[in-house]
Amino acid sequence: MNFTKSLAYSTALCAVGMLAANAAVAAEKPKLKISGYQETYMGVADVTSGTTSSGTPTYTGGIVDGAAAVVIDCMGDPGLVPARESVGTLVLGPCQTSMHVAALLGHRFSVVTVLDHLAVIFEDLASRGYVVASVDHTYEATAVEFPDGRVIRSIFGSYLGGVRRTNRQALTFAVSVRLRDLEAVVDDLERLNAEAGGRFAGKLDKTRIAVAGHSLGGLTAILGVDKEPRFRAAINLEGGVPLGLIPSTATPVLILAAGREWWSESDRHLWNELRGPRFAVNLEGSEHVTPSDAVWLAKGAVKAGSMGPDKAVAAIRNYIAAFLDAYLRGRPMNPLLTGGSPDYPDATVTLQDQSLRQRR
């Protein structure tokens, strides 16, 4: 299972029961933004000092009212490493702890989960008649065992080791692997379509394939349409594209951003290099993880603008579907893609002939 794409980078740090000798003291849940590893470190510093608004002591210094340990109440173990650096007592993460116990009890173990980083989008597209293939990239999962017995470990480190790497070298390697993975997935889809008697035989139209991704996946989607001609459209969900990597493409592109007060220089440069149909939708008052399952999994901790999480999810789904319907299915242009909609007041749409708003 790919833990690195799930809760650790996309949910709020839920605080935290303190195990005392006679009673458990529960701190209030802090609202933290930990969409990146640096923000996790910064956020944990706020949680591990001071008191809550009701005056209940947090676990400053490690021992408060006889507290013997701190448990992070989230299976992704967000903030585990910085919390251990900040707190003078035992800090446990359920993911790391359960893996250690499982490894002691057997040679192999599996994790079964119903969570997927973008299931909120996948399920909606499938309900509209699209076939959705989700890629779980090998070198980003904690560990993957191949049929020949080889075990491939994550280039970002392991929850078991407590070390995480997000340096430029690791990210560059991850993107290069993702691009090769995308090519391999399209090859597999063509094979499944041609496989006589198979479940998908003759049901997949290889001339109408789009690629989409969130965050680093958004960057991968933009680079993917430049390198893989079988992709006929791309959706970039909150993915930054460095200036040196921006390709020029005539492929239709939808950029869905969250919480932009203005568009960065690299955003504007990317926009200018999109020579085909292009649309940019900004969800005002939202944040990086809003276009992901975190908006539901951590309701109240993830910003969703004035619309709230349910309507924000509806907006994300409908703008994506409108784009794909137009450029994969050839349907008439949905009014959502011709300007703003009163149904989604937080969604600001930039059209083909318009420029992205820049800082004044």
Co-location of 123 and 79 in the same domain: no
- Strand-by-strand arrangement of the 24-26 sheet: 24-26, 17-19, 69-71, 90-92
Of 185, 138, 195, 198, which Cα lies nearest the Cα of 5? 138
Same domain as 344, residue 265:
yes
pLDDT at 266: 92
Domain assignment present for 296: yes
212 and 268 in a single domain? The answer is yes
Give domain status of residue 164, yes or no: no
Q: Please state at what angle helix 216-227 crosses helix 168-194, rounded to 10 degrees.
A: 60
Residue count of the chain, please give it. Answer: 360
Give me the sign of the Cα torsion angle 20, 22, 24, 25.
negative
CA 313 to chain centre: 14
- 189: in domain: no
359 within domain boundaries: no
Strands 151-153 and 143-145: antiparallel
Which pLDDT score, from 0 to 100, does residue 259 have? 93
Beta-strand ranges (E) seen in 52-129 are 69-71, 90-92
Both 18 and 90 in a single domain?
yes
In angstroms, the Cα distances linking 275 to 170, 244, 320, 326 are 31, 18, 20, 17
Are 315 and 307 spatial neighbours (Cβ–Cβ below 8 Å)?
Answer: yes
Q: Identify the segments of the chain with pLDDT beneath 70.
A: 1-67, 73-76, 78, 82, 85-88, 103, 106-117, 157-166, 360
Do residues 211 and 317 both lie within one domain? yes
Provide the residue range defining the domain that includes 275. 119-131+204-350
Same domain, 209 and 320: yes
Confirm if 15 and 30 have CB atoms less than 8 A apart.
Answer: yes
CATH number at residue 256: 3.40.50.1820
> Cα separations (Å) of 148 from 1, 135, 152, 308?
19, 21, 11, 48
Helix axes 308-327, 119-127, angle to 10 degrees: 50
In tens, the pLDDT along 68-115 reads: 777 876 666 767 776 776 666 788 887 778 777 776 776 555 554 444
Residue 172: CB atoms within 10 A of its CB come to 11
Clarify whether residues 124 and 83 are in a common domain. Answer: no
pLDDT at 345: 95
pLDDT of 109: 58
262: left (phi over 0), alpha (psi -120 to 50) or beta: beta
Q: For residue 83, is it within any domain?
A: yes
Do 215 and 346 lie in a common domain? yes
Is residue 180 in a domain? no
| Residue 147 in tokens | 């049929």
- Asked if residue 140 belongs to a domain, the reply is no
Q: Contact 186/178 with Cβ under 8 angstroms?
A: no
Q: Are residues 125 and 14 in the same domain?
A: no
Distance CA 186, CA 133 (A): 9
Q: Which residues contact 319 (CB under 8 A, 6 or more apart)?
A: 254, 256, 281, 336, 337, 347
Q: Any idea which residue has 């993460």 for tokens?
A: 93
Q: Are residues 47 and 17 in the same domain?
A: yes
The phi, psi pair for 186, rounded to 5°, reads -65, -40
Same domain, yes or no: 70 and 126: no
Instruction: Tell which phi-psi region holds residue 79, choosing left (phi > 0), alpha (psi between -120 and 50) or beta.
Output: left
Cα dihedral angle (319, 325, 331, 333), rounded to 10 degrees?
Answer: 20
CB–CB of 83/48 below 8 Å?
Answer: yes
Q: What is the pLDDT of residue 59?
A: 41
Do 27 and 124 have their domain in common? no
Structural domains of the chain, count: 2
Q: In this structure, is residue 256 part of a structural domain?
A: yes
